[in-house]
Amino acid sequence: MVKLNKIYTKTGDDGTTALVSGPRRQKHDLRVEAYGTIDETNSAIGIVRLHTADLPELDRMLMLIQNDLFDLGADLATPDTGKPLDYEPLRIVAAQVTRLEGDIDTLNADLEPLKSFVLPAGSPAAAHLHLARTISRRAERLMVALSRTEGEIVGAEALKYVNRLSDFLFVAARHANDQGRADVLWVPGKNR
Indicate if the pLDDT at residue 14 is higher than 80: no
Per-residue pLDDT tens over the stretch 137-191: 999 999 999 999 999 999 999 999 999 999 999 999 999 999 999 999 999 999 9
Question: Three-state SS for 9?
Answer: coil
- What are the phi and psi torsion angles at 118 (to 5°)? -100, 130
Does residue 107 sit within a domain?
yes
Residue type, 12: G
Highest mean predicted confidence (pLDDT) among 27-31, 133-137, 150-154: 133-137
Residue 4 is assigned to a structural domain of this protein: no
Residue 16 — pLDDT band, cuts 50, 70, 90?
low
Q: In this structure, is residue 60 part of a structural domain?
A: yes
Cβ–Cβ under 8 Å, residues 144 and 159: yes
Per-residue pLDDT, averaged over 4-10, amounts to 68
**CATH number reported for the structural domain that contains residue 108 in this entry:** 1.20.1200.10
Range of the domain at 147: 25-79+90-176
Span 75-98, pLDDT tens digits: 999 988 778 888 888 999 999 999
- 13 is a domain residue: no
Number of domains in the chain: 1
- Residue 176's closest CA among 111, 113, 115, 116? 111
Residue 74 contacts residue 20 (beta carbons within 8 Å): yes
